[in-house]
Structure 1
């Protein structure tokens, strides 16, 4: 067989492993240690936020929003470039129009830009959900463990706190 005619095989990328829950950072938003559920069934990542205001700065659309989380439900006011409005189908099957932002996301030691929808997740256990678009080509998921990429986190079998 002619070597030139055979397709090039891509070298497999070494994926990092995440558990079903991790603590993540959104450094440009000033958020650290955000509890996140890893969900390969969701396409887009989602952050619990209350939209406060849309505005323009230097010709770009921005959104100012409040994020409440932590043991004392602290409020953090954040700003990010508003890149899109999309219909997102939630876990209950309803489609909602949501604002999409793009911002760096840090999981373990890896930081990358992620698209994140802003949604009311007040009824959810985790203020953030990491969807498969953020995981693709970066992480493999071990659904039987938690905190595998959480610095100082002690990997455990996934018991809900």
Structure 2
């Protein structure tokens, strides 16, 4: 089953609507972390357009994303936003084809380019440089829910099923 990604680009109807949204959104992490298929959520303001916001979420399957859409808290938040808070919401969904991590250590200059399992991304990002032990900066979960992450160990790495079928 492929990892599922959802991206939203949002404009609010007013700065006040965005301030109210942030209050509701701050509680989102508590609800997401209870869902077995949730992996990742980030939210950020576009640097060139301060009224344009972007959300990216990763799920263990399309069904896991639909589980979130059936969540009572999410339903009420959507109803609130559709009642005039949001002016525009562009939603794009993808199935993951593969993931790679490219890192160059700022201490020893070791370059790494490796495939990794997105379902275990947090563990991979917390790995130190294998040569000198440098710990790369990692964004941790935020109280605002603008960054929420969870690993789901044991899921097969995307792309490995295809290889097995060809063999």
- In terms of fraction of residues, the more strand-rich structure is 1
TM-score class, shorter: under 0.3
TM-score (structure 2 length as normaliser): 0.26
- In terms of fraction of residues, the more helix-rich structure is 2
